[in-house]
Structure 1
Amino acid sequence: MPGGSSLRLAMGISIAGSPTQHNGAVVSLPMTEPRTSRPANSARHFISGLGSGVTSAVLLQPLDLLKTRVQQSGSSSLSATLRDLRQSQSLVKSLWRGTVPSALRTGFGSALYFTSLNAIRQHAHQTGILGRRLQTQGRSSVLPSLTNSGNLISGAVARTFAGFVLMPLTVIKVRFESSLYSYPSIMSAASDIRRTQGWRGFFSGFGATAFRDAPYAGMYVLFYEMLKSRLGSLASKPVASGESPTRMQATLASSVNFTSAMFAGAACSIVSNPFDAVKTRIQLQPLEYKNIWHAWYKMVTHEGIRSLWDGLALRMSRKAMSSALAWTVYEELIRRAGAR
């Protein structure tokens, strides 16, 4: 069946009802599971995640710093924080304080997250343990497509794993951004944490971080994939009967991915903000806030429930933009790498 074989090799899929010649007779090819022509390996996902993470961290560092300053004390406000920063010798330098640990943490965190997420999704897609869907026309991504439950579970597991591995850099990043500490370098921060709290200090706030990141990442991947599917269907042309599904053009695909990531990030940040506020307090003042429940109780009783939503606008803005940048850059790098 030379005609059918060449079609399948060129497209990487078999088309239902697509006629082809076999010894002069016309036969129809059955619908089978579509395959990507060149599966991306782990190194490709690691490098793409690293690049997207560093890019978003550097560009959005001012928003992250302002959020940390607002959350470090219930009495701080955005206007007061900006007023204090204006009094510094260099406003630009102050806004980008902590960029190095932030870029390291976000860059390698994104690399680990995207690599582990892809591994989980590829395994689930191939084995069907979390369910899988056939790829449909109008997809803006070359990544595996899972069911809603598959997206929810894979996102939560991958983010929790990456968060645990990168927790020491997260603690250092938060302290660099805070006005409560004046570390001259990353090594001095690490040395001080080790001296005052031991190795356990590098994992301060992991409980709150896991409570924040697992639901956030799970819901994020779920919402992101749902929005991509909906927007992709709206943006793409219907496929006529007997025609093969086609990928979106790169520009349109990037627009769909960017918009989906931005709205998913903004929505999920609202739900997870209380855990982020608690995590910040534990990491900045571990002696005053001993664990997640103690910090939660103390913040609510002393400062009111509103303290759990400190920095929401800043975090929502940063999460929306960082998610949009990171996922759009990541998906585009993977698409280009797979096209070579």
Structure 2
Amino acid sequence: MSDGSRTALSKSTFHFAAGLGSGVLSAVLLQPIDLLKTRVQQSGSHSLAAAIADIRAAPRLLPALWRGAVPSALRTGFGSAIYFTSLNAIRQSAARWNSATPLHGQAGKSSAAGSSSLPKLSNTSNLLAGAVARSFAGLLLMPLTVLKVRYESTLYAYTSLSAAARDIFARDGLRGFFAGYGATAVRDAPYAGLYVLFYEQGKKRLAALFPATTPTTPTTSNIQSNPNEKTPMALTHAASINFASGVLAGIICSVLSNPFDAVKTRIQLQPTRYRNMVHAARRMVGEEGARALWDGLALRMSRKAVSSALAWTVYEELVRRMERGLVSPREGREERQGL
């Protein structure tokens, strides 16, 4: 294996590991919010207070709040890992096709002035890359998504993930593990595409409004020639820009996609009552009013805004550090010269 192939493999492995770590961290920290959202969306009660009262009535509060944390961490962790790895591969390929678009380490001064070391693409490319990567990851992780939602709900008294899996298979066969994928794809593909678009635009505009006083992405050669010239202020600034952009993008996209999330939850919990996305939406609106499509909006908006921002910020910081560790001074000069 050539040095270039070995480096590319190392980078892909690191993107996977960075996505896995950031996804698990955000899923575990924010599981109580996700649990409350599922409880609110599971029926037409629309009552957050009732969901909280039900959890408080549990014998042990902490296990009740983090019920479903294991499938959630597995789903979000591996989902983020697959998503970020495939998204990076798509964006790298798109950047290569467009010779005017800089790759990792090839952005020169413009990249150094920003808060990210990821490829810079057009708005359309960012939109499509996010949508394709999320749809792919969502399909692979759909069984874990169904398990997570069933486990969080009060409609099923599952005692373990294996018991939940056996029950789903006995009731609906393999098809049961992909219940609600249509609504999930319709929700996640536009959400992810718009998220990447708004996230990148947010970083650009916030960086212009709040410029860093020191370079946010010093070159490897500069770091090694002067090891004491560390830039904690710059790194903190970049992380702040990324996190703020992630929160804003998460809020906007959550509002736009919440109806699909509400429909998806109903289908996954009661696939015999809600046959498909259109049938579920019509039944929910007919029986409970249009408000049913906005169940759990505040919870989902707060959870998605913080979790997405946290995952992207951690991911970008890990990638930034990985780039410094893998690129030698000579390789860095060659890449900047386009060799």
For Structure 1 versus Structure 2, the TM-score category normalised by the shorter chain is: 0.7 to 0.9
Q: How does 1:68-147 map to 2 (within 5 A)?
A: 68-128=38-98, 132=101, 135=107, 136=110, 138-147=113-122
| Corresponding residue for residue 298 of structure 2 | 313
Does 2:314 align with 1:329? yes
Letter of the 1:172 counterpart:
L
Could you tell me how far apart the structure 2 residues matched to 1:246 and 1:233 are?
A: 18
Q: How does 1:163-174 map to 2 (within 5 A)?
A: 163-174=138-149
Could you tell me how far apart the structure 2 residues matched to 1:45 and 1:57 are?
A: 18
Could you tell me how far apart the structure 1 residues matched to 2:55 and 2:46 are?
A: 13
**TM-score, normalised on structure 2?**
0.84
Could you tell me how far apart the structure 2 residues matched to 1:214 and 1:237 are?
A: 33
Q: Deviations over 1:130-150 (max 9, x none)?
A: x73684252101110001001
| Corresponding residue for residue 210 of structure 1 | 185
How much does 1:235 deviate? 2.5
Could you tell me how far apart the structure 2 residues matched to 1:193 and 1:149 are?
A: 39
Letter of the 1:214 counterpart:
A
How much does 1:336 deviate? 1.0
Unaligned runs of 5+ in 2: 1-6, 220-230, 326-339
Could you tell me how far apart the structure 1 residues matched to 2:163 and 2:213 are?
A: 59
| Corresponding residue for residue 296 of structure 1 | 281
Q: Classify the secondary structure of the residue corresponding to 1:144.
A: coil
Letter of the 1:97 counterpart:
R
Letter of the 2:60 counterpart:
S
The match for 1:195 among 143, 154, 170 is 170
How much does 1:339 deviate? 1.3
| Corresponding residue for residue 177 of structure 1 | 152
Unaligned runs of 5+ in 1: 1-37
Residues paired across the two proteins, number: 298
How much does 1:48 deviate? 0.2
How much does 1:273 deviate? 0.1
Q: Deviations over 1:205-261 (max 9, x none)?
A: 00000000011000000000000011112222699xxx9x96882111101001000
Could you tell me how far apart the structure 2 residues matched to 1:45 and 1:297 are?
A: 41
Task: Assess if the C-alpha contact under 8 Å between 2:46 and 2:295 holds in 1.
Answer: no
| Corresponding residue for residue 196 of structure 2 | 221
Letter of the 1:110 counterpart:
S
Letter of the 1:122 counterpart:
Q
Task: Assess if the C-alpha contact under 8 Å between 1:159 and 1:213 holds in 2.
Answer: yes
Does 2:251 align with 1:281? no
- Are residues 203 and 237 of structure 1, via their aligned partners in 2, closer, same or farther at CA, if it must alter by over 3 Å? closer
Letter of the 2:26 counterpart:
S
The match for 2:25 among 47, 55, 60 is 55
Does 2:254 align with 1:269? yes
| Corresponding residue for residue 210 of structure 2 | 235
Could you tell me how far apart the structure 2 residues matched to 1:267 and 1:237 are?
A: 26
Could you tell me how far apart the structure 1 residues matched to 2:202 and 2:71 are?
A: 32
- Are residues 59 and 238 of structure 1, via their aligned partners in 2, closer, same or farther at CA, if it must alter by over 3 Å? closer
Letter of the 1:226 counterpart:
Q
Could you tell me how far apart the structure 2 residues matched to 1:41 and 1:275 are?
A: 35
Q: Deviations over 1:116-175 (max 9, x none)?
A: 00000000001129x736842521011100010010000000000000000000000000
Does 2:159 align with 1:159? no
Letter of the 1:57 counterpart:
A
Could you tell me how far apart the structure 1 residues matched to 2:200 and 2:122 are?
A: 9
